[in-house]
Amino acid sequence: EPPQYIFENEATAKHFAKLRDETDLDTCLLGAAEVASALTGSYLYVTWDKAVSERPFIATIAPDSVVPEFKWNKLVAATLWQCVYEDKEKDVYVRLLTRYEPGYIINALYTGKKKNLGQRTSLTEYFPNLPETQNLPDGLLAIDYVPNMGPSRLWRKDPRIAPLGRPDYQGVEPLFAAVDEVMSSWMRDIRLGK
């Protein structure tokens, strides 16, 4: 179910409803919840692209594409990465790294190999309109991590990753294996019965 928002001011409620529809916020949050269910959590971040929307909007990214930095279980910085070009035969990979820090968003492009980040290159070849640094007001951190549920049983002793949380299915892997074994046996019996 979509979240319910309560405002004391009617004008604020109307403006938020308009923004909510224009930015497709509910769909974004639903996607984040689906990813969080399987991958321990989801990152929500503020971004903007004039080619897509006239105003900033919230986007989501899975935790396996982010290098987080936590302090006292709070996200204090994060680096998002994505591969924008790859040539597997020549072992050439171009990756965009976007670092979120309090007050800044820093973009950098790297050309390297599959297992090596490589050298920093100019953004203009792939992203001519993307600034290298974007200043944010008042030390704002424009990204946040929403864990699926906690605490993580596997990572509870490591403060660097303990805040990541846990997926819905952690601890029930033996049940999955048992169901798989039963279904495989059953399907074999059905085939033999034919």
Q: What pLDDT, in 10s, does the model give residues 175-190? A: 888 888 888 888 888 8
Q: Residue 90 has what pLDDT?
A: 93
Q: Residue 85 has what pLDDT?
A: 94
Model pTM above 0.85: no
- CB-based contacts of 37, cutoff 8 Å, min separation 6: 148, 167, 168
pLDDT-derived band at 142, boundaries 50, 70, 90: very high
Query: Can you state the percent helix, strand and coil of the chain, rounding each to 5?
Result: 30, 35, 35
Q: What is the DSSP letter of 3?
A: P
pLDDT: which is higher, 117 or 172: 117
Q: Residue 99 has what pLDDT?
A: 96
Mean pLDDT of 50-58: 81
Q: What pLDDT, in 10s, does the model give residues 67-87? A: 999 988 889 999 999 999 999
Q: How far is CA 171 from CA 10, 76, 91, 159, 184, in A?
A: 46, 29, 38, 21, 22
Share of the chain above pLDDT 70, in %: 100
Position 123 pLDDT exceeds 80: yes
Q: Residue 135 has what pLDDT?
A: 92
Position 151 pLDDT exceeds 80: no
- CB-based contacts of 65, cutoff 8 Å, min separation 6: 80, 81, 82
pLDDT-derived band at 43, boundaries 50, 70, 90: very high
Q: How far is CA 151 from CA 40, 71, 78, in A?
A: 10, 16, 21
Position 60 pLDDT exceeds 90: yes
Amino acid at 73: N
Please name the helix (run of DSSP H) or strand (run of DSSP E) that holds residue 108, with its range, or none. Answer: strand 104-113
Q: Give the β-pairing of 66-71 and 57-61.
A: unpaired
**Alpha-carbon distance 118 to 121, whole Å?**
9
Q: Would you state the structure tokens that stand for residue 193, as one six-digit string?
A: 């019965």
